[in-house]
Chain A
């Protein structure tokens, strides 16, 4: 795969277990190797082990909300690209997430190919920014 997806560290965060496990399997079928977290706390624990390059994040979750997770992730791992996925989001939610640094905002139900495109674009952005950060560091 030459489209930035090979070996991509991808983390899916959604409290709807049935949804997110199937989603992970479908993405695996397309050559990705996502990890899954069922809530914000789990997501942050997994990210601490190994910071993801791209995170697909549900907005409405019990416990930490998607926005809180987004803020925490962007604060600690600014290079991580976050794709918001929501069933209930309003225009204000979208604006708030984009202001907090989310790279994309999608409404559920979402076509898988649209999500794949979004992940691909996020992976490319992450690579570019990581490259720049490294170049700047030298």
Chain B
């Protein structure tokens, strides 16, 4: 576990506790007031917050409420003197996990922090499972809709083509309305083709990965980036690739990984359409045998409130008609089918970083087609 924030106006106590937690391998930082705590949380997330509710200045419960709005996944442990036990009880109602009376025994506190950390992990994994189930269900639904729409679409395109054919016949040559009819039917045709492109994309949702091929080389990934160089230059975006040439071949079909990477790069460029910036592609190996592909842009970032929905089909922050809201949903389903995980790290105004984590060992790559 990382990230414990200690908030107590008794500096000696806060500092000592931070030291003790660090000695246990936990990443702890101490601040000495409510406003300071909120500032610190705005900058950096914390997994557990230990909060003295009896500090001078901002009311302890107000601090907690504001902190929870900002970091809804953080666990709170409250510290309280006997004289304001009521505040602690009210804090529990607001969602704090635990409270300890001051002066608190250090060992008790450390135990409370550890328990809160475990609870947070459990809660996160439950949330993630629920999220996975929801996205899978939405993907199935979208795919079903696409199937149903394809049939009438097929007929529409065929009939529009038939009208186009007929308008070429001699008898229509003299008609004063011919040009208008040709224009109208070609628009019907074009819009139907647009629907077809959407249903085509939908049908790739929850698709099993392509038949195992030779895998994907790091060079193939760099190639996907290079294909976007012209657009990047026209937007004033600098490209950076941190891809080791001797990286092992990724045991996933190139067509699928290139599709995922292409979507992420295109989104990143879309995010930097105004004002340019830097687009970074990185590939690295983690100690636990996973490969990580990162795509990072320096665009405006993603609103924290929108982040939980960003992988849902049809969810788009782009203008209507500009994005189908399917790109990231497709990325999610392909990565999931590879036995991997895709996630977003972003703070408003500070760019966005998409991270694709994939198992490199063979046993993780088969029998996982969801």
Contact = CB atoms under 8 A, between A and B. Distances in A.
Interface of A: 16, 18-19, 22-23, 25-26, 29, 87-88, 91, 108-110, 112
B147 A19 contact: no
Given A16-B151, A19-B154, A88-B147, A109 B196 contact: yes
Question: For the complex, would chain A's binding face be called helix, strand, loop or mixed by DSSP majority?
Answer: helix
Contacts, number: 41
Contacts of B208: 91
B158 A22 contact: yes
Question: For the complex, would chain B's binding face be called helix, strand, loop or mixed by DSSP majority?
Answer: helix
Given A19-B155, A87-B147, A109 B162 contact: no
Interface string B134-162: 00000000000001001101111111011
A26 B161 contact: yes
Contacts of B188: none
A57 B208 CA distance: 26
B158 A87 contact: no
Contact of B162 (A25, A87, A91): A25
A110 B151 CA distance: 11
Interface in B182-210: 192, 196, 208
Contact of A108 (B150, B159, B162, B165): B150
Contacts of A109: 150, 153-154, 156-158, 192, 196
**Which range holds the interface residue count of chain B?**
10 to 19
A72 B90 CA distance: 77
Nearest to B151: A87
Contacts of B159: 18, 22
Given A29-B165, A109-B196, A23 B147 contact: no
Contacts of B192: 109
Interface of B: 147, 150-151, 153-159, 161-162, 165, 192, 196, 208, 211
B165 A18 contact: no
B366 to A, nearest CB: 16
B139 to A, nearest CB: 16
B245 to A, nearest CB: 33
B161 A87 contact: no
B320 to A, nearest CB: 24
A18 B192 CA distance: 17
A87 B158 CA distance: 13
Given A26-B165, A29-B165, A112-B161, A18 B147 contact: no
A64 B124 CA distance: 50
Given A26-B165, A29-B165, A109-B196, A19 B158 contact: yes
Contacts of A110: 154
17 contacts: A18-B155, A19-B155, A22-B155, A22-B162, A23-B158, A25-B162, A26-B158, A26-B161, A29-B165, A87-B150, A87-B151, A87-B154, A88-B147, A91-B211, A108-B154, A109-B156, A109-B196
